[in-house]
Structure 1
Amino acid sequence: MRKHKIYLLLFMVICFLQPLVRVSASEMKFSVQAVIPENQIDKSQSYFDLKMSPGQIQDIQVNLYNDTDKDVTIEITPHAATTNQNGVVEYNTQNNKKDDTLKIAFQDIAKTEEEVTVGAKSKKQILVHIVMPKDSYDGVVLGGLYFTEKIKEDNTNNSNNGQVINRYAYVIGVKLTETETKISPELKLNEVKASQINYRNFFTANIQNYKPAIIKDLSIDGKIFKKGESKVLYSDKRQGLKMAPNSNFDYAISLGDKPF
């Protein structure tokens, strides 16, 4: 068999993104609400958009509501924002490796209770303790507070018997800004390789936003050729993608049903 090297050609158009609060509320046993503080930059938003200072210490507040007739235990986790393989900003990724350009991860500067029990038909307020680094920081620190109901052990055991256990979550975004210095996003193409996703063949290109800036309306036009030829073998074009600051993701170009 002849072996061919491949080139990947990527064209990228960049704009800015305003972070979104992502909520999945169906069948929820609880709800959450951010208590917007005085240093909120845009008070029309329901997520935290805070003007901070170097070394600043602040406790932000979140109200937890339980309208059911039983107590609910809620797990709470701060996360840095990441970008998933679909070009969507996420605030709940626990297992993703931190991007090597990320200097301030939200989970490193924000601490709160790991779990809270809210009584039936009641409300409880939690505090999230934020400590900004002493050195001034240009750009955006983007993260989120992830709230999900704690799964009881008996429910977990039931899942082993073929039952499906649904877990729903709320996420409140947190955007922290110290200066008004405008940081332009910059992208870098890292490793390109042959890969499989759900047992299907793809070429994946790791794209990295290595600046502390949010990207909105990212367009990628990827084409794969045989080396030295102009005929396009495989292509994929997507628009309206988003990237978190200092994050990366694998942009995938499908081979359809063809082998490598």
Structure 2
Amino acid sequence: MRKYSLLIYGLLLVLFLGITNTVYATPPSTLSYTATMIPAKNQIDEKKSYFDLLVTPGEEQQVAIKLNNASDKMIKLKVSPNTAKTTSNGTVDYSGMELENTPNLIASFEEITSKEQIVELAGNSEKVVTFTIKIPKKPFEGIILGGFYIQEIDEEETVSSKEGIHIANQFSMIIGCQMRMSEESVKKNFSLEKIYLDNYGGYFTVVTDIHNNASQLISFYSLLGEIQNDQGETIHKFRKDTFSMAPNSIFSLPERIDNSKLDPGEYVMKIDIHSRGEEQWKLQKKFTIQSDAKDKVLEKSIDRKKTQINWLLLTIVLIISITVLLILIQLKKHKN
């Protein structure tokens, strides 16, 4: 009897080890370097830790960053100029993610700035790196916003193994760069553009592209949203308590929703944006759900995959239960 019990437990152990995918993460470490901006002559406020430059059309702007290696070993740093963009979490990103800006973007920061640099720093040393920015010849209102993304080059950033996936933490620093021809702000302007279905985090989601059409940084705003059907009935409400947007950027706002609420048909997306003051913008846009588009998203939905996995586990448990029952019957016959 003990032999059969061990066999059963062994089968269960092999089963669950076989379907488990382990992910490892390296414990965090401290930064071995620092980066500080060196104020330019046309820096508006020297107390700021980022470049805030008052520029003139057609000039070549020089900016400098001091890099310091606080460790005893030699390190390599990559310094990359990137355009400010908006992530799907509603944060401003300077790391060079493949995100879109609006068509009326004044200028792409990485296109008007000299190329990225790889800098070698000996232990306990410092170095100054400079970049040249070609200011557009045409005068502009608002700001051009970008940043210098600084990260240590590590040959062991990602390591694959048979046991799982080893993810090495990568720390970085950002020095922002804001350029303007006037200290006057521009009028804010938002619009709802593309609305579509997608899988966000594996879940059935409706995504709304909110455009910040102004060359103005939006910080810590909030929004309320709702979806109405073609009868004018509200089928879903949502909110986001805080979000920020880069100038002339697109916020692809994901909202997880029960797919049964979005049958093929016509709908209206309504979003109210609120500033930290009393400003408010009411936006709305009609959109259509096509049956084939919905089915395509559902095929990759985590809910459907969970259902398939549950059926698989149920089948396995059933097989094991029958096996155990047969073993017990055989043992009873043998005893008799």
TM-score, length of structure 1 as denominator length = 0.83
Distance 1:192 1:112, change over 3 A: closer
- 1:211 corresponding residue in structure 2: 214
Q: Which amino acid aligns with 1:248?
A: I
Distance of 1:257 and 1:97 partners within structure 2: 27
Query: 8 Å contact 2:106–2:144 — kept in the other structure?
Result: no
- 1:20 corresponding residue in structure 2: none
Q: Which runs of 5+ in 2 are unaligned?
A: 1-27, 263-336
Larger Rg: 2
- 2:248 corresponding residue in structure 1: 246
Distance 1:26 1:236, change over 3 A: farther
Q: Which amino acid aligns with 1:249?
A: F
Of 177, 187, 190, the match for 2:190: 187
Distance of 1:239 and 1:197 partners within structure 2: 19
Partner of 1:108, secondary structure, is: helix
- With a CA cutoff of 8 Å and minimum separation of 6, indicate the structure with the bigger relative contact order: 1
Q: Which runs of 5+ in 1 are unaligned?
A: 1-24
Match status 1:164 vs 2:181:
no
Instruction: Tell me which moved more, 93-102 or 30-39.
Output: 93-102
Of 62, 66, 69, the match for 1:59: 62
Q: Deviations over 1:94-117 (max 9, x none)?
A: 322343221311111111542110
1:93 is displaced (CA, Å) by 2.6
Q: Which amino acid aligns with 1:59?
A: Q
Q: Deviations over 1:63-84 (max 9, x none)?
A: 0010111111011110110011
- 2:45 corresponding residue in structure 1: 42
Greater helix share, structure number: 2
Q: Which amino acid aligns with 2:86?
A: T
Task: Output aligned runs, 1:80-159, within 5 Å.
Answer: 80-152=83-155, 155-156=156-157, 159=159
Partner of 2:77, secondary structure, is: strand
Q: Which amino acid aligns with 2:199?
A: Q
Q: Which amino acid aligns with 1:74?
A: L
Q: Which amino acid aligns with 2:66?
A: N
- How many percent of aligned residue pairs carry the same amino acid? 25
- 2:176 corresponding residue in structure 1: 173
Instruction: Tell me which moved more, 194-203 or 94-103.
Output: 94-103
Q: Which amino acid aligns with 1:187?
A: F
Of 234, 237, 259, the match for 2:236: 234
Distance 1:124 1:112, change over 3 A: farther
Partner of 2:166, secondary structure, is: coil
Of 70, 75, 84, the match for 2:73: 70
Distance of 2:185 and 2:64 partners within structure 1: 28
Moved over 6 A (4+): none
TM-score, length of structure 2 as denominator length = 0.65
